[in-house]
Amino acid sequence: MRGPQLVVSDINAAREEVMSQGVECSEIIVFDDRDGGPFFGFSDPDGNTWAVQQIKARAEQPLIPHEARGRFGEG
């Protein structure tokens, strides 16, 4: 697959987390904060390419409530 997107509230923390798992990531790219916010990309072992984008509003109103999250929402 090409183009799955993850939306996060903190792009730096997300990139650090992905890289801590040994995944190579692109640099964080910022075209204009008014135009969707910063993002980075990476490829998984199956060759899928992913985009990770920061949307700060997700910190205040997450799509999945904190108490309903599994492994990736812990901590």
| Domains, the chain, with CATH or none | 2-59 (3.10.180.10)
Per residue in 39-57, pLDDT (tens digit) is 999 999 899 999 999 887 6
% of the chain with per-residue pLDDT over 90: 41
Q: What is the mean pLDDT of the chain?
A: 82
Q: Is 58 helix (H, G, I), strand (E, B) or coil?
A: helix
pLDDT of the residue at 2: 75
**Could you give the angle at the alpha carbon of 66 between the alpha carbons of 44 and 4, nearest 5°?**
25
- 40 within 8 A of 52, measured Cβ to Cβ: yes
What is the rounded average pLDDT of the residues 7-35?
89
How many Cα atoms within 13 Å fall on the side-chain side of residue 68?
4
pLDDT of the residue at 73: 46
What is the rounded average pLDDT of the residues 6-32?
92
